[in-house]
Structure formats: structure tokens, C-alpha cells
Amino acid sequence: MPRVPFQITVDAQSDVAYITMSDSDVEDTRELTADVLVDVDALGMVVGIEVLRLDAEIPFQRLVDELHVHSADVETLRALRPSVASSLRLTQGTEGTSVQRGAAANADGSSIAV
């Protein structure tokens, strides 16, 4: 199956984010921490990560140890370190919210690709 680029969707007003890692159907949700839930497919492969607080730390080692996330994918996720909030700069304006990560920005502010 071809790899899908990660997609991060942020709802700054609700202080939540979702990191899409696959386009597979979600079969189950597993709780890594009180603030980090992981959606998996029928084979137990990670489909996405739900972050219930933007300042929540993602437990990277548990993703590797318990959910067998590939090391290259974990390195991509580490770019969000230590939390989703720390890697994004949110800017409010009359046109909505702009989300920026490094030099990349999404015009409508709803999501960015990693």
C-alpha cells in the first residue's frame, strides 16, 4: 500500500488535533495516555492519533513498542516534539486561523501536511 503523507488537523478553539497516518478504516481506538488516543485498522496498524490537548506529549516510544509504528514514521512525528502546540504557531485574523509549522503554512488554517 502506498504511503500517505501525514495530515495534521488542528482545532485551536477546542484545543485538539488529529494526525492522520493512513487512509485505512478505523477498527478500534486505543488509549496511550489520557490525552493521546490512537486509531488502528483491522490489522492493528495505526490510522491516526487523536491529541485531546495541544500541549499533550506524544509517547513516541510506546508507539514503537506497543503499536509497531515504523521508526521513520516516529521520526516524522518527533518533528511535533514535545507537543503539537509547540510545533505550531497559530495566528488569528479576520479570515480565520492560520496554522504554521516552520516555514510551511496552510492558507485556510485548517490543516498542514507533514
Cα–Cα dist 64/9, whole Å: 22
Q: Which residues pair with 106 in a beta bridge?
A: 99
Ramachandran assignment for 102, one of left (phi > 0), alpha (psi -120 to 50 degrees), beta (any other): left
User: Is residue 102 included in any domain, yes or no?
Assistant: no
pLDDT at 102: 42
pTM equals 0.71
**Quick one: which H or E segment has residue 63?**
helix 60-67
User: Is residue 100 included in any domain, yes or no?
Assistant: no
DSSP conformation class of 2: P
Per residue in 3-35, pLDDT tens? Answer: 567 898 999 899 999 999 999 999 999 999 999
> Which segments of the chain have a pLDDT < 50?
1-2, 90-93, 97-114
Phi, psi angle pair for 108, to nearest 5°: -85, -10
Domain coverage including residue 39 = 3-93
Domain count, the chain: 1
